[in-house]
Amino acid sequence: MNPLRKNLEASISIRQEMLNDQALHLTLDRVLDLIEEAFRAGGKLLLCGNGGSAADAQHIAAELSGRFTKDRAPLFAEALHVNTSYLTAVANDYGYEEVYARMTEAMGKEGDVLIGISTSGNSENVFRAMQTAKQNGMKTVALVGAEPGKLGAVADHILIVPSKDTARIQEVHITLGHSICESLEDRLF
């Protein structure tokens, strides 16, 4: 079987399972309520991840702080890795495990929301950011694969993609991200 056909079939299967997962849909509604409440109160959405998940975090933040489908006021959404001078300094001085926790401590406050993205659910720097967020009174959301790992143990809400294939998980994470952006625009504007 050619790779495109194989990957499309796998993606369709995962998406079909998620389409029929009522618990997932209810969790997403609760996540949307949290983020909407934060924005309405003048709060912010922070996001973090590594590699492709960092790209997803930045992508989602850009859609919200810029625009997605509507010409509207910007929302405060930020991917925690976008300041490379900060990232490299803290990684050098404190270790890579601390880069997101320190930025969460600096930027996050009670009522804000942190989304941590990790296909394995075990990214140490994302896990530590989630712990810091909770200590600061923030709400936390994990986007993970079939095994929620350490993030699943600390997050207030978990959005699970039922797969162990990193590429398929990442593809669906961005679909979840786009769905969050579209829903928030509809709710807020």
Quick one: pLDDT at residue 1?
A: 78
Mean pLDDT score of the chain, rounded to an integer?
97
In the Cβ-directed half-sphere of 186, how many Cα atoms lie within 13 Å?
8
Q: Give the pLDDT score at 158.
A: 98
Number of folded domains that form the chain: 1
- Range(s) of the domain holding residue 179: 3-188
pLDDT at residue 63 greater than cutoff 90: yes
In three-state secondary structure terms, 52 is: helix
Q: Is the pTM of this model over 0.85?
A: yes
- pLDDT mean over 85-114: 97
The phi, psi pair for 43, rounded to 5°, reads -90, -165
Q: Which phi and psi angles does 94 have, rounded to 5°?
A: -120, -15
Q: What would the mean pLDDT of 69-85 be, rounded to a whole number? A: 97
Name the CA radius of gyration of the chain, rounded. 16
Looking at residue 69, which CATH number applies to its domain? Answer: 3.40.50.10490
